[in-house]
Amino acid sequence: MHWITRFSAFFSAALAMILLSPSLQSFSPAAAIRSSHPYADEFKPQQNSDYSSFRESPMFRNAEQCRSSGEDSGVCNPNLVHVAITLDIDYLRGSIAAVNSILQHSMCPQSVFFHFLVSSESQNLESLIRSTFPKLTNLKIYYFAPETVQSLISSSVRQALEQPLNYARNYLADLLEPCVKRVIYLDSDLVVVDDIVKLWKTGLGQRTIGAPEYCHANFTKYFTGGFWSDKRFNGTFKGRNPCYFNTGVMVIDLKKWRRFRFTKRIEKWMEIQKMERIYELGSLPPFLLVFAGHVAPISHRWNQHGLGGDNVRGSCRDLHSGPVSLLHWSGSGKPWLRLDSKLPCPLDTLWAPYDLYKHSH
């Protein structure tokens, strides 16, 4: 009983921290909850597609010092911050929580333009987004045709990584308007706990993409032995210092992307994969092949990733050391599923305050 009391106290402390603080940019993981989870290895939740009912988000207005968002001038207004995120039924709850978190922590929420990527032409998702965020005018739905990439997708370690929409990030330069020269791409399983404009203003220098890099990670594990033994393939990294980066949080210079035709370069590696089987992990390795060693480094605070555990068992994880601006549940364990199943990891309570699903509380 004493253990249960202490465990409950940890949950309460985490929830209070995020509810009472307007931002977690100074939150030090040194005092973070320890994420041991006695049932995580046995917990294999099923995706719930009954996400038809969400609470309406409150109205968020720009502070006085914000530059005009120019709502009447639409997507091409130069004062806008552009954010791209996917929408599908299994991850819809996560996408809505991500948007809610961005709006809550932004000083200029009306200056953020959301580009939502869908792979179904059904109007249900657009209607749901507009009813959940009725005051959010800076948004647009983009249809990504699954057949664009379907024939290039190889089997992966987890079925979710094989979905065509998971590859839509490769085609942002084609999907978004030519006047959109920069975009932040975000996965659906994260929350932002800092002002998104700080990430938007990241300098990329001569690079096309920026992301937090993790050079201590074992880079070789992202490719097969056949890849590393064949100079036709591993030679692509010659003269580079490749580091792992997570593609769920990226700042992309679309002008450079279009100029250098990076979509075609990624597709070329996917074609090779279909013939040679040079990697096992979905959409990440082609990005590493094209960009690793050529990434503008962004502070790790902008992708505290891996909170969903590994790609198979989804065990609980701790935060990395350092301050936090974005919490990312990459991996197989998603916070909304674990919370609903009454078997959450301690850090899942940091996601809960942004959840707008009606029947989740």
CATH code of domain 77-354? 3.90.550.10
The pLDDT tens digits for 58-105 are 999 999 999 775 555 799 999 999 999 999 988 999 999 999 999 999
The one-letter code for the residue type at 296 is A
pLDDT at 105: 98
pLDDT grade for 160, boundaries at 50, 70 and 90: low
- How does the average pLDDT of the chain come out, rounded? 85
Rounded-to-integer distance, Cα 320 and Cα 305, Å = 8
Q: Residue 304 above 80 pLDDT?
A: yes
Ordered by start, the domain boundaries in the chain are 77-354
Q: Residue 9 above 80 pLDDT?
A: no
pLDDT at 311: 63
Tell me the mean pLDDT in the region 15-39: 39
Q: Which of 1-5, 48-52, 175-179, 355-359 has the lowest mean pLDDT?
A: 1-5
Higher pLDDT, 246 or 4: 246
Provide the strand spans (E) within the chain: 81-86, 112-118, 139-143, 182-186, 190-192, 209-211, 213-214, 244-245, 249-253, 296-297, 326-328
Report in angstroms the alpha-carbon separations of 135 from 56, 140, 327. Answer: 10, 14, 26
The pLDDT tens digits for 276-288 are 999 988 899 999 9
